Amino acid sequence: METVKTSKRITAFLLDILLVFFLASLVTSIHFINPYYKKYEAAFKEYSEVTNNYLEEKISEKEFLQLNYVNYYNVSRFSVPYNIAIVVILILYFVVFQKFNNGQTMGKQIMKIKVVNNSDNKDVSLIKYLLRSLPIYYISIGAIIPLLLNSLALLFVKGKMFYIVSACINYAFVILGVVTLTIMLSRKDKRGLHDLIAGTKVIELK
């Protein structure tokens, strides 16, 4: 068994994220589960229209910013059920499902790779799957920690202040994501920050 190439790991991860987003969108389109779905669609449509009007120079930058603060807040407010769905599905998929599916997600199965303990190549515990998820899966687009922090910020700030707080949160985790990927690319064993924290590695199956 060999340490897997970074390109295979990234491909597997992208396939997994697409699946997670599809499932979350499917679940949150059900009115019983997400009563704010239509309000979210309306808020997102208005947000997009304001952006397009600004790009087409139909409104001034000052008007754009004033409207954008309000619209961004509304989009975020009505997307909380979707954020919760993402959180639940990410945990069930990357932690629970991967644990009981021989260290593999669907993406890893397609790429023929799996997660094992770094020291003995044995199965990984649920706690370790959770630990390795924190630095990478949770900082991807629509990921857990930014979603939770943004949702929490909705309770305390709104308008322009929420826009600023949300931007800071998102930028911080983008930077952390870049650091994680840089570590993975620079190490000979291709272990990222998440692997170093959890004591795991990804190997290629023959």
The whole-angstrom separation of Cα 158 and Cα 183 is 36
* pLDDT tens sequence across 43-80: 989 989 999 998 998 999 888 888 888 888 888 888 88
DSSP state of 92: I
DSSP-derived 3-state class of residue 63: helix
The whole-angstrom separation of Cα 9 and Cα 81 is 30
- Where are the alpha helices (H) located in the chain, listed in sequence order? 6-28, 37-55, 61-78, 80-90, 98-99, 106-111, 126-133, 144-153, 159-186, 193-198
* pLDDT tens sequence across 84-114: 787 788 888 989 999 999 999 999 999 999 9
> The whole model's pTM is what?
0.75
Report yes or no: 11 and 17 within 8 Å, Cβ to Cβ: no
